[in-house]
Chains A and B, each alone.
Chain A
Amino acid sequence: MNIRDEEQLQQYFERQMSSAQEQNFLINVAARDDMRLAFRSQLELLKAVREDKDSSGSPTFVRSKTLTALGLGGALVPSSLKEHEVQQASIVPASFLQNVGSALKRPVVSVTLGLLLGILGTSALAPSNVSTDRSATTPTTVTAPAKIAPSVTAPSAVASEPAQEMQKPSDKAPVKTMKTTLNATKQTPATETMPVITSNKPGTVDVKTKISNPDEDSGKK
């Protein structure tokens, strides 16, 4: 065992050998007793060193001690504070909920709370019903199709046809049309704005859902 062998051994364990060199080296190890001994004991040595390295404790304590001594303790405080805050955040709601739960178990509290909620509910519902009756749902019907309108503009020839059909079967179609549009988007996500191209029956299925609303609305208007 000379320094050349030692270098080879070191190169092998540090993975600095080419495959040909490695092969020669392993043949050498198999052939020579002293090399085999060196190989085995080096392997054990490296294993022991690695375990020793891993088992030496975490440097957190030394770090905080050292940096605090240098007056730089504050630099590491934020991370530790964050951890503390997270712990606090998880503790506070739990204790709060526990307090609320234990208070609700008391009959007096639960009855008064129920009464209060009942009163508040009835007073809140009465004016809201009046207002909904007076102001009809017209604003929603006007605003909703305005968002869909731009997607309709591209296929002008087809758009006129389904617009007429859609006035009839608008209540049958939704489930089917939703499925087809979903499939279309799955296969070719880029064609979202042009549903006519992607579906098998452009005039009947896809275009109905996408195009119907603006046309209906324009007809109404």
Chain B
Amino acid sequence: MEEAINLFEEQAELSEETFAELPEIPQITGTLSEDDQLDLALVRDFTSGRDDAFLALYAKYEAPLLHYCRKMCPDQRVAEDSFQEIWTTIFEIRSKKTEVGRFQSLLFRTARNTCLNAMRREWVRSRGKVELKNTLASVTLESQSEQEEIRTLISQALAKLPIEQREIFVLHEYSGFGYHDIAILLGKTEGSVKTTAFRARIRLRKLIASWLGLGEEEDGSIKVPYLSQEH
């Protein structure tokens, strides 16, 4: 278990550069999908004073955004505060009359900035070292079942992934976006998104394999318990 966690130790240290290196998500101005157009229609209704349009947008993006915040922010409390802050920023579209190109991009750009700010605040508070804690991570592993242990492990491992990898993994696996959508959302090519996701998964899988006792034996063969003769 300790070895597994050590695989990610190199990623635990964050610095000011970590935050500075992340590129801003560009504003998308190309053709919009039907879903985006529906969102825009709701945004227009909302800016013209209809609260139910805002509630429709909220209902649509509540779950993916909450998952994003919970996995990107340092802890549960900060995640919930950030979630609230994001929707407050979105609500200000009405008074500020902000031009919205693609609502999804605007929402997740706001989410990313809010979560990064929260991480930065935590980093400053803890004098240079961010303690990326998770509610699950604080529970002792000895008292848990196997599945709970894996879940805890995943939470800890996710917290220690590079931010870009974590973001793409969370957007795909937790928020349910396809790679194409993530590419549009983050202003990247689909290929680079896939590559980043691939790297994230490799790291997470190594961790899982190490925890489950899978891997190379001394003789060079690979041990996969459920396919071996023992089981």
Residues of A bordering B, CB below 8 Å: 3, 6-7, 33-34, 36-38, 40-42, 44-49, 51-53, 55-56, 59, 62-63, 65-67, 69-70, 72, 75
Q: Answer whether residue B24 sits at the interface, using C-beta atoms and an 8 A cutoff.
A: no
Report 30 cross-chain contacts, Cβ distance below 8 Å, ordered by A residue: A3-B194, A3-B198, A6-B201, A6-B202, A33-B224, A36-B224, A37-B209, A38-B205, A40-B214, A41-B209, A41-B212, A45-B205, A48-B150, A48-B151, A48-B153, A49-B154, A55-B151, A56-B66, A56-B67, A59-B66, A65-B84, A66-B83, A66-B87, A67-B58, A70-B54, A70-B87, A70-B91, A72-B55, A75-B52, A75-B55
The answer to whether A44 touches B151, judged by C-beta atoms less than 8 angstroms apart, is no
The answer to whether A42 touches B80, judged by C-beta atoms less than 8 angstroms apart, is no
Task: Please judge, given known A-B contacts A45-B205, A48-B153, A55-B151, whether A40 and B226 are in contact too, CB under 8 Å.
Answer: yes
Give chain B nearest CB distance to A141 CB in angstroms: 59
Q: Number of contact residues on B: which range applies? A: 35 or more
Nearest CB to that of A52 among chain B residues?
A: B151
Query: Which 8 residue pairs across A and B have the least CB separation, nearest first?
Result: A33-B222, A41-B205, A48-B150, A41-B209, A41-B208, A48-B154, A66-B84, A52-B151
Give chain B nearest CB distance to A96 CB in angstroms: 38
* Residue interface mask B201-231, A partner, CB < 8 A = 1: 1101110110010110000011010110000
* Residues of A with C-beta under 8 A to B208: 41, 44-45, 48
* Residues of A with C-beta under 8 A to B18: none
The answer to whether A62 touches B151, judged by C-beta atoms less than 8 angstroms apart, is no
The answer to whether A36 touches B222, judged by C-beta atoms less than 8 angstroms apart, is yes
Please report the C-alpha to C-alpha distance between residue A51 and residue B198 in the assembled complex, in whole angstroms: 21
* Residues of A with C-beta under 8 A to B227: 36, 40
* Residues of B with C-beta under 8 A to A49: 154, 173-174
| Total of A-B residue pairs, C-beta within 8 Å | 95
Q: A40-B212, A41-B205, A46-B173 are known contacts; what are 17 more A-B pairs with Cβ within 8 Å?
A: A3-B195, A34-B222, A37-B224, A38-B205, A44-B212, A45-B154, A47-B150, A48-B147, A48-B154, A52-B136, A55-B151, A62-B84, A63-B62, A70-B87, A70-B88, A72-B51, A75-B55
The answer to whether B201 touches A53, judged by C-beta atoms less than 8 angstroms apart, is no
* Residue interface mask B83-95, A partner, CB < 8 A = 1: 1100110010000
* Residues of B with C-beta under 8 A to A53: 67, 174
Q: Answer whether residue B63 sits at the interface, using C-beta atoms and an 8 A cutoff.
A: yes
Please report the C-alpha to C-alpha distance between residue A41 and residue B155 in the assembled complex, in whole angstroms: 16
Question: Which one, A51, A66, A70, contacts B151 given CB within 8 A?
Answer: A51
Q: Answer whether residue B70 sits at the interface, using C-beta atoms and an 8 A cutoff.
A: yes
The answer to whether B83 touches A47, judged by C-beta atoms less than 8 angstroms apart, is no
The answer to whether B147 touches A47, judged by C-beta atoms less than 8 angstroms apart, is yes
* Residues of A with C-beta under 8 A to B215: 37
Please report the C-alpha to C-alpha distance between residue A59 and residue B63 in the assembled complex, in whole angstroms: 8
The answer to whether B204 touches A45, judged by C-beta atoms less than 8 angstroms apart, is yes
The answer to whether A56 touches B70, judged by C-beta atoms less than 8 angstroms apart, is yes
Nearest CB to that of B220 among chain A residues?
A: A33
* Residues of B with C-beta under 8 A to A38: 205
